[in-house]
């Protein structure tokens, strides 16, 4: 619970959210913005995030009568670590620090549980009696560094089997001394108007209707076998859908090309950015993917999505907020090709 009495919560507190990375983790933190704004419409809400994920937050910036995030504070740690001895790196760090300390925050909510994010909390400018809330314990299958607890004045105990969205809400509600916001309050991510207003991305060779297949993931054990992708892709192609196989690096591109050779009319597109991914996903008939950030992006955009779990627990990140999201498999039990085919066709019908 909060260190501040409930009656000390003003109508316009200054709140800093700290969730630095990565793609899926940032997405599953987004409901906090909507939860906070619905209850504290006049609050200032800022967010520190790794610079590579700023595009994920831009749709929620306060503008044109919409109130979401007031300020995005980019954090360049990944790039800075590669150039520690350059003067420009330290200039950029002190510019970041200056931006971080430009506001005196009443609440700092840190939901990552890592030393790097806890250090951001330490650097932030805080009001007297400010609440700095973070995770008191690790949750299964998530990174956690116990030393981070030293930088909070409120350590929040969460269930060890805890969905990423629920975990963030748990820390937020404890910090603000609110009753827990649970799944009966459907999480919001992006506005419907944002998704509807996305312009179509032109990609050479892309043809409608198309199905996106995100086979790549950072951990090899989370991949679904290539032959199952081939079986799924061949069935979709036989029904008139173009199978599109995105990639993020040269090794992933080689896998896309190997799968594509066996699926008539399929496409291995050029590399595209996170910003481009919004539009590519928005105009897909269906997205099918393993437990990876771009699959979760499709789910939070409210698009028909099949999430495939092979070596990660489904309960941790499954899309539970819409009927057009289907979750298959689980840790230690990846789905068969026929399961994926039947589920995909049911969403396409």
What the block records as the tokens of 131 is 């609440």
pLDDT band at 9 (very low <50, low <70, confident <90, very high): low
For a pLDDT cut of 70, what percent of the chain falls above it? 97
Q: What's residue 3's pLDDT? A: 39
Label residue 6 exposed, middle or buried (CB < 10 Å: 0-12, 13-18, 19+). Answer: exposed
- 201 with 272: CB under 8 angstroms? yes
Given a cut of 80, whether residue 6 has pLDDT beyond it is no
Query: Per-residue confidence at 11, pLDDT binned at 50, 70, 90?
Result: confident
CA angle 130, 131, 133 (to 5 degrees): 150
E strands in 13-149: 14-18, 44-50, 71-75, 105-110, 126-135
Exposure b/e, 297-331, CB count within 10 A at least 16 = b: bbbbbbbbbbbbbbbbbbbbbbbbbeeebbbbbbb
The pLDDT value recorded for residue 22 is 94
Would the pLDDT of 140 be above 80? yes
- On the question of pLDDT at 267 being above 70, the answer is yes
Confidence of residue 4 (pLDDT cuts 50, 70, 90): very low
Per-residue pLDDT band for 117 (boundaries 50, 70, 90) equals very high
Whether 74 shows a pLDDT value over 70: the answer reads yes
pLDDT band at 24 (very low <50, low <70, confident <90, very high): very high
What is the mean pLDDT of the segment spanning 145-160?
A: 97
Q: What is the DSSP-derived secondary structure letter of residue 59?
A: G
> Alpha-carbon distance 173 to 40, whole Å?
13
Kindly report, residue by residue over 166-202, the tens digit of the pLDDT. Answer: 999 999 999 999 999 999 999 999 998 898 889 998 9
Domain boundaries, the chain: 6-189, 199-348
Question: What is the three-class DSSP state of 207?
Answer: coil
Name the average pLDDT for the chain.
95
| pLDDT at residue 1, as a whole number | 38
- Residue 229 clears pLDDT 70, i.e. is over it: yes
Least confident interval from 1-10, 69-78, 105-114, 321-330: 1-10
Given CATH 3.40.50.2000, say whether it is the number of domain 6-189. yes
Q: Is residue 52 over pLDDT 60?
A: yes
For the domain made up of 199-348, give the CATH fold.
Rossmann fold (3.40.50)
Partners of 154 in the β-ladder: 133
């Amino acid at each position: 619970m909060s260190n501040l009495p409930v009656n000390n919560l003003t109508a316009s507190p200054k709140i800093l959210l700290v969730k630095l990375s990565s793609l899926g983790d940032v997405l599953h933190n987004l409901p906090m913005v909507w939860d906070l704004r619905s209850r504290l419409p006049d609050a200032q809400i800022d967010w520190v995030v790794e610079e590579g994920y700023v595009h994920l937050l831009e749709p929620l910036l306060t503008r044109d009568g919409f109130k979401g995030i007031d300020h995005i504070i980019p954090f360049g740690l990944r790039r800075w670590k590669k150039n520690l001895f350059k003067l420009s790196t330290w200039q950029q760090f002190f510019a970041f620090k200056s931006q971080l300390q430009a506001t005196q925050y009443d609440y700092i909510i840190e939901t990552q549980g890592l030393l790097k994010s806890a250090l951001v909390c330490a650097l932030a400018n805080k009001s007297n009696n400010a609440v700095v809330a973070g995770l008191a314990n690790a949750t299964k299958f998530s990174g956690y560094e116990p030393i981070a607890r030293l930088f909070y004045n409120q350590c929040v105990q969460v269930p060890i089997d805890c969905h990423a969205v629920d975990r963030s809400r748990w820390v937020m509600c404890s910090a603000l001394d609110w009753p827990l916001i649970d799944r009966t309050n459907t999480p919001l991510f992006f506005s419907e108007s944002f998704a509807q207003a996305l312009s179509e991305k032109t990609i050479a060779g892309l043809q409608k209707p198309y199905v996106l297949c995100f086979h790549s993931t950072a951990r090899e054990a989370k991949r679904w076998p290539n032959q199952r992708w081939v079986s799924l892709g061949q069935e979709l192609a036989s029904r008139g859908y173009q199978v599109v196989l995105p990639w993020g690096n040269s090794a992933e591109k080689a896998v896309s090309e190997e799968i594509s050779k066996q699926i008539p009319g399929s496409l291995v597109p050029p590399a595209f950015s996170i910003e481009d991914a919004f539009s590519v996903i928005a105009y897909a008939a269906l997205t099918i993917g393993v437990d990876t950030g771009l699959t979760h992006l499709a789910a939070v955009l409210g698009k028909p999505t099949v999430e495939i779990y092979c070596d990660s627990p489904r309960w941790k990140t499954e899309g539970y907020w819409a009927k057009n999201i289907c979750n298959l498999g689980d840790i230690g039990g990846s789905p068969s090709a026929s399961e994926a085919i039947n589920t995909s066709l049911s969403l396409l019908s």
